[in-house]
């Protein structure tokens, strides 16, 4: 299990989809979940960087979990997902300011993602307050983008949720370049 987290964390980090201590990963195991430690650096995950706690119940380790634990919990309670990848992909976050939804114009993005909704927030809202809305959208979409913040991707496997995150960033990079060239896709 550690190697799964390490492989995905390292891939996100080397591709610039998370920076420093940003982003978090989790998987669900029955009534429990394993999530990255508060403040851990995804590019360099060690055994002590994983925290096991309940999907609904707290335990001694709960305070050590990522500060976005409640969003991961809400997703597991309200969807069939078994893995969540939260990242801060820069092109996707940039486009989240100007778009209501991301519609990939590349084939891979279209096949994998179809479209990605952008959840807008008012500046005062805490990310935690959006948990219900994020979970609701993730019943319908593989990835949701939170305006000015980052992406939440779900799947049965951590690798797959990473793959969707990477596809989103790839599509957004292309959309960004096309906008710069003033090409209207489609």
Binding site for Zn ion (CB under 5 A): 150
Residue placing its CB nearer to Zn ion in the complex, 148 or 185: 148
* Token couple for 73: 């919990």
- Pick the closest to residue 83 from 1, 159, 164 (CA basis): 159
User: How many Å is the Cα radius of gyration of the chain?
Assistant: 16
Residue placing its CB nearer to Zn ion in the complex, 31 or 92: 92
d(C-alpha 186, C-alpha 183), whole Å: 9
Distances (CA, A) of 51 to 33, 39, 71, 85, 115: 8, 12, 15, 15, 32
Question: In whole angstroms, how close is the CB of 177 to Zn ion at the nearest point?
Answer: 25
Residue nearest to Zn ion (CB): 150
Residue placing its CB nearer to Zn ion in the complex, 104 or 150: 150
Question: In whole angstroms, how close is the CB of 145 to Zn ion at the nearest point?
Answer: 11
Question: In whole angstroms, how close is the CB of 152 to Zn ion at the nearest point?
Answer: 9
Residue placing its CB nearer to Zn ion in the complex, 9 or 150: 150
Question: In whole angstroms, how close is the CB of 120 to Zn ion at the nearest point?
Answer: 16
d(C-alpha 114, C-alpha 73), whole Å: 25
């Amino acid at each position: 299990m550690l190697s799964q987290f390490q492989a995905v964390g390292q891939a996100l980090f080397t591709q610039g989809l998370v920076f420093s201590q940003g982003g978090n990963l989790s998987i669900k195991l029955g009534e429990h979940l394993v999530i990255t430690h508060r403040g851990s650096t995804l590019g360099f995950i060690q055994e002590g960087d994983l925290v096991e706690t309940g999907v609904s119940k707290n335990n001694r380790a709960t305070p050590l979990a990522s500060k976005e634990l409640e969003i991961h919990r809400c997703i597991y309670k309200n969807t069939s997902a078994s893995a969540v990848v939260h990242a801060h992909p820069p092109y996707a976050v940039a486009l989240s300011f100007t778009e209501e939804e991301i519609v990939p114009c590349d084939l891979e993005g279209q096949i994998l993602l179809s479209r990605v909704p952008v959840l807008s927030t008012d500046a005062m809202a805490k990310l935690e307050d959006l948990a219900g809305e994020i979970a609701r959208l993730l019943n319908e979409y593989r990835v949701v983008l939170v305006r000015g913040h980052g992406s939440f991707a779900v799947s049965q496997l951590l690798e797959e949720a990473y793959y969707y995150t990477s596809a989103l960033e790839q599509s957004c990079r292309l959309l960004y370049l096309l906008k710069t060239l003033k090409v209207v896709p489609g």
